[in-house]
Chains A and B, each alone.
Chain A
Amino acid sequence: MKKILSKFKKLSHREKIGFVIAMLLTVSLTVIMPVLAWFSKQRRLADLQYVNSPTKLYITAGHLEEAKYIDLSDIQVTASTDTAKYYVFAVTGTNAAYYNLQLAYTTNNQFEYFLYPAQEHEGNAPANTTMPYVSYTAHNDTGTDGNFYYTVDTSVVGDGTLSAAACKITDKTVITRQEIQSTIESVFLNQEGTLIKADKTDSLHGDTYGNDFSVTQVQDCAEPLYWQIRNIKSGMNPTTRELKDYYILEVNWAKTKAEFERQKIPFIDNGETDVIYISVASGTGGA
C-alpha cells in the first residue's frame, strides 16, 4: 500500500488527475454493468388497488354514553293522555360516510315507531317552546348540570330535506313512513303492497328463528317487523372522520286497533313487553 502511495506521490499533478478520473470511470462502469444485468434478468407485473377504509359504527345512548343507558321503560299507555313517548340514541363511529339504520321490533303492543334526526344542546333547556325537546341526564359527565337536550334537526337527512313542519313533534304531523320513503330510501322488509306483514307465513321467519322453531311454534306478535332506512348520509367530520348522529325515537300508540288490523299487523290489547332492536350497518352511499 505504501509503495502504491509513494508511486502515486511521484506522479505529476496532471497524471494524478488523470489516474483518479480513470479509476472513477472504471468504478462507475463496474457499478453500472451488474445493475443493468440484474434488471434485465427479470420481468415484472403489477397492479395498484385502492383499499377501503374500515368502518366503525356504534349505537349509543344520549351524549354518546354506553348503549346500556338507552332506557325505554315507563311507557304508561292508559294512565296518561299522551299518545307518544320520546327517547334519544346516537349513531357514532368513524369512517362511515353512509349507513343503514334498522329497527326490528315485535308487535305485542299497538306501538308505532318514528325516527327523527336530532341536535344536541348542552346546559339550559332550549328556550323555543314551539320546538319541544327530549332531555337526557348524563351518567358520566360532571360538566354543567349533566343535562342534555335534543331537538329535531331540520337539516338534511339522506338526499332529501325533511321540512321543519314535518318534523315537529308537538302537532303530531310526524313524518310518515311513506314520506321518509319518498325522500330517503326506507323500507319494511316485511311489506307486501300496503300491508306490513308480521304473521308466520312471512319468509323472514327463517331469518329470525332459523330452523330451530317452526312457524307454528312462534306466536304472530313475536315475528318481528324489520324497518330499514338505507344510505343515510352521515354527519361525519371531514377532518377527524368521526360521526355522532343523534336520533329521537318516538314510540307512538295513537293508531287504532282497526288500523293495525287493516295493515294485518297482529297485536295483543294487553301486551306488556315488546322487543326493539336498533342496529346500524355501513351503507354504500353514492360512490
Chain B
Amino acid sequence: MQEMNMKKLSSVKIIAIALLIISVIAFGSLSWFTMSKEVEGSGTQMTASDLPFEISVESPYIKGVDYSSILNSHFGYNTTSHETGGSVEAIKCLMNDVTLDTENPMRGLQPGSYGTLTFHVKPKVTGTYEINFNVATTGYHAEFDLDNNQAIKPSSIKTTEVNGEDVPIFYSLTDYATQQSENITALNETITELTAKGTLTDAEKKTLDDARKELSNATEDSVNCPKAARYLNGHILFFENWDSTTKYYSKFIPDTGFERTYTFTANDVAGTMSDSRKEELTVTIYWIWPNTFGQIVLDNGNKNLSTNDPAMFSSTTTAVNGKTPRQELTDYISSHGSYFFESTNTNLNESNLANTINTLSTTPDNIIPLSNGYNNADQIIGENVQVLLAEITVITD
C-alpha cells in the first residue's frame, strides 16, 4: 500500500516539472513567433530558416599560425568552404594581419598589429534589407610546454591527444579563472597543513615552497584572466573605414555592431553585377590593436607620439553628425573605461574619465596616466591571452 503511494507521489512530481517546463517554453516560443512574423511582414518569400543572402570570402587561407582544425572542432566553423549556404552557417575568414612579415611568420598579434577582415555579401532574394554586422573578440588561455628551453611560440602550447592527433589545449578565460580559484583553495589547505606541522623534511619543505609559488601564480591568474577578457573589448578596435592616403580611421564599430542597408536587384541575385557593384557588396572591416593610447587621442607631430606608432585620427577631420571620427571613439571610451584602462589613477575613474580625455589639449600631461593605464591593460592581455578568436555575426530581420 505504501509502495503505491510512493508511485503516485513521483508521477505527480513529473507532472509538476513538466508543467513548469511548458510555462518556460511558452515564453521562449512566443518571442520566436514574434520574430517570424516580422520576417513575413517584410513581404518576402523566404521562410524563417533562410536568409536573403549568403556570405563568401576570397579564400580562407592561412597567414601566421594555422588553427583551422581548432576553429573547426572547438567552434564549429567550416574551414574548407569559402561560402555559407546549405548546411554551412559559419566559415573561416582571414584576420589579415598586415604587420606579420615573411621574415618571422610565426609571430602573432601584439600591440601595434593591424589589418583587415574582408568578405562579400552574395544576394539570394531581391528586396531591401537592413543587415547588422557584429564583431566580437574572445580570448583563450593556453599553457606552454617549454622542455628544451624553446621560445614561447604557438608550437609550444601544451597539447592533448584527440583521435590520435595532438590538439592544443585552450581554456576560456572565465573557466581558467574558476579553475585557478579552486586551485587556490587546495593550495591553501596544503600550506596550512604543512605550516602547522612545524619541523619539515626536505621534501616537505620543497612542497611548501612550490605550493607558495603556485599560490601566487594562481591568485594572479584568477584575478587577471577575467580582466584580460574585459580589456580585449577595448584594445582590438574595429572600423568601417580607413584612408589609405592619410592612414586615418573612421566609423568606429562599437560592441553593438553596425548596420548597412542593401537593395538586392535581380542582377545581384543572378550574379551578373558590375565590378563596382561587386565592390559595394564587399565588406572590409579594419582592425587595429593600437600600440599606445596616444595614437587615439594625439595628432601626428605631437611630441608624445612616436613616428613608429602614428595617429589614428586627425583633429582636422570633418565631423559627421556632429562628431569627428576621434570623438566617436573617445566618447565610447569615456563610457566604457573598464574596457581600456588598468589603473588606480582617479583621473581615469568613471566620473572623471570623459573630462580627462576631453581636456587633453589644455592638460597634456594627462596623457601619462591614460597611456600607462592602457599599457598596463595590454600587459594583462598579453600575459593571459594566448589565442584570440575574432567573430563576425551577420544578421538581418
Interface string of A48-91 (1 = CB under 8 A from B): 11111110000000000000000000000000000000000000
CB distance from B80 to the nearest CB of A (A): 14
Q: A51-B382, A236-B149 are in contact. Are A37 and B393 (CB under 8 A)?
A: no
Residue of A nearest to B50 (CB): A40
Which label, helix, strand, loop or mixed, suits the secondary structure of the A interface? mixed
A80 to B36, CA, bound (A): 94
Q: Mark B144-177, 1 if CB is under 8 A from A, else 0.
A: 1011111111100000000000000000000000
- Quick one: given A43-B84, A45-B55, are A54 and B378 in contact (CB under 8 Å)? yes
Asked if B89 and A9 make an inter-chain contact with CB atoms under 8 angstroms apart, the answer reads no
Instruction: Report if A95 contacts B (CB, 8 A).
Output: yes
Instruction: Report Cα–Cα, A148/B103, bound state, in Å.
Output: 41
Q: Are B50 and A51 in contact (CB under 8 A)?
A: no
Contact between B393 and A42 (Cβ–Cβ < 8 Å)?
Answer: yes
A98 near B151 with CB under 8 A, answer: yes
Task: Give min CB distance, B110 to chain A, whole Å.
Answer: 4
Interface locus among B65-73, B240-248, B259-267, B365-373? B65-73
| B299 on the A face (CB < 8 A) | no
> How far in angstroms is the closest Cβ of chain B from A175?
23
Q: Are A42 and B394 in contact (CB under 8 A)?
A: yes
A45 touches B90 (CB 8 A): yes
Check if B15 sits within 8 Å of A8, measured CB to CB.
Answer: yes
Whether B18 sits at the interface, judged by CB under 8 Å, is yes
> If the complex has contacts A30-B25, A37-B36, are A45 and B392 also in contact, measured as CB distance less than 8 A?
yes
Whether B394 pairs with A43 at a CB distance below 8 angstroms is yes
**Would you call B200 an interface residue if the criterion is a C-beta within 8 Å of the partner chain's C-beta atoms?**
no
- In the complex, B48 has a CB within 8 A of chain A: yes
Q: In the complex where A43-B89, A49-B65, A238-B146 touch, is A37 in contact with B48 (Cβ < 8 A)? A: yes
- Choose one: A27, A37, A39, A53; the contact of B383 (CB below 8 Å): A53
What 1/0 flags go to B20-41 for Cβ under 8 Å of A?
0110010011001001100000
- For residue B29, which residues in chain A have a CB less than 8 angstroms away from its CB? 30, 33-34
Min C-beta distance of A1 to chain B, whole Å: 8
Question: Do the beta carbons of B90 and A50 come within 8 Å of each other?
Answer: no
| Chain A residues within an 8 Å CB radius of B92 | 45-47
Q: Which residues of B contact A286 (CB under 8 A)?
A: 151
* Residue B357 CB within 8 A of the other chain: no
B151→A50 contact, CB < 8 A: no
Total A residues in contact with B, Cβ cutoff 8 Å: 43
Interface size (B, Cβ < 8 Å)? 74
**Contact between A49 and B109, CB atoms less than 8 A apart:** yes
Distance in angstroms between the alpha carbons of A241 and B149 in the assembled complex: 9
Contact at A50–B104, with CB atoms within 8 Å? Answer: no
**What's the least CB distance linking B229 to chain A, in Å?**
13
Is A9 in contact with B8, judged by CB distance below 8 angstroms?
Answer: yes
Residues in A neighbouring B11, C-beta threshold 8 A:
8, 16, 20
With A and B bound together, what is the CA distance between A239 and B104 in angstroms? 25
Task: Decide yes or no: A27 and B77 within 8 Å by CB, A51-B381, A52-B108, A287-B106 being known contacts.
Answer: no
- Chain B residues with CB under 8 Å of A42's CB are 51, 89, 393-395
Q: Is A51 in contact with B386, judged by CB distance below 8 angstroms?
A: yes
Interface of chain B, main secondary structure: mixed
Chain A residues closer than 8 Å to B340, beta-carbon distance:
none
Alpha-carbon distance A285/B146, docked complex (angstroms):
15
B32 and A97 contacting across the interface, CB-CB below 8 Å:
no
Is residue B354 contacting chain A, with contact meaning CB distance below 8 A?
Answer: no
CB contacts under 8 Å to A, within B94-112, are 94-95, 97, 103-110
Asked if residues A41 and B51 are in contact (CB atoms below 8 Å), the reply is yes
What residues on B are CB-neighbors of A50 within 8 Å?
Answer: 64-65, 67, 106, 108-109, 153-154, 386-388
B329, CB-defined interface residue at 8 Å: no
Whether, in the assembled complex, A258 has its beta carbon less than 8 Å from a beta carbon of chain B, the answer is no
Given A51-B382, A54-B379 in contact, is the A45-B91 Cβ separation under 8 Å?
Answer: yes
CA distance A50 to B68 in the complex (A): 12
Which residue from chain B places its CB closest to the CB of A233 in the assembled complex? B149
Known: A42-B395, A43-B84. A33 touches B104 (CB 8 A): no
Taking a contact as CB atoms under 8 Å apart, the answer to whether B382 and A48 are in contact is no
User: Which of B104, B107, B139, B394 is A44 in contact with, Cβ under 8 Å?
Assistant: B394
Find out whether the CB atom of A241 lies under 8 angstroms from the CB atom of B152.
yes
Within 8 A of B (CB), among A13-35: 16, 20, 23-24, 27, 30-31, 33-34
B221 to chain A, nearest CB (A): 14
- A63 to chain B: closest CB distance in Å? 20
Answer whether A51 and B32 are a contact pair too, CB < 8 Å, given A27-B21, A41-B395, A46-B93: no
Known: A236-B149, A287-B153. A46 touches B391 (CB 8 A): yes
- The reply to whether A43 and B51 contact each other, CB–CB distance below 8 Å, is yes
Interface 1/0 per residue, A146-167 and B, CB below 8 Å = 0000000000000000000000
- Can you list 6 A-B pairs, Cβ within 8 angstroms, ordered by A? A20-B11, A49-B387, A50-B108, A52-B382, A98-B151, A287-B105
B interface residues, Cβ below 8 angstroms from A: 8, 11-12, 14-15, 18, 21-22, 25, 28-29, 32, 35-36, 48-51, 54-55, 57, 64-65, 67, 70-71, 75, 77, 84, 89-95, 97, 103-110, 117, 119, 139, 144, 146-154, 378-379, 381-383, 385-395
Give the top 7 A-B pairs by smallest Cβ distance, nearest first. A50-B108, A97-B151, A238-B146, A54-B382, A48-B67, A44-B90, A47-B95
